[in-house]
Amino acid sequence: MNSRPDFIRPQDLIRWNKAIDSDESVPFSFKDMAPFREILFASFYLVEQLKKAGLQSDEIGGVRYQHGYQSFGNNPWDIAEELLNEYT
């Protein structure tokens, strides 16, 4: 389900893990679920790329929501790439 792209660096994962672990809005039980964490990793990547492309925060929020919704039961990295292609 989660074929993480090769271009994701260990530094990215360290940064994203810290963000997840320090985010009090993410329930603790979700933090321990590998599939949920992978969706969040793909979401962080998506947001970073959308910011680089110049999308505004409100646009990014909508795309991020769409990503989360579509990722359950699918490969979140594929969904992120599809959304990047659609919005950039």
> What digits encode the pLDDT tens for the residues 30-70?
899 999 999 999 999 999 999 999 999 999 999 999 999 99
Scanning the structure block, which residue is given the tokens 């505004």?
A: 56
Average pLDDT over residues 15-38: 93
Residue 3: per-residue pLDDT = 84
Contact 54, 48 (CB under 8 A): no
DSSP for residue 13: H
Domain spans of the chain, in order of start: 31-87
Angstrom distance (rounded) from CA 18 to CA 85: 28
The whole-chain average pLDDT of the chain stands at 94
Residue 71: per-residue pLDDT = 95
Contact 87, 53 (CB under 8 A): yes
Q: Is 23 exposed, middle or buried (0-12, 13-18, 19+ CB in 10 A)?
A: exposed
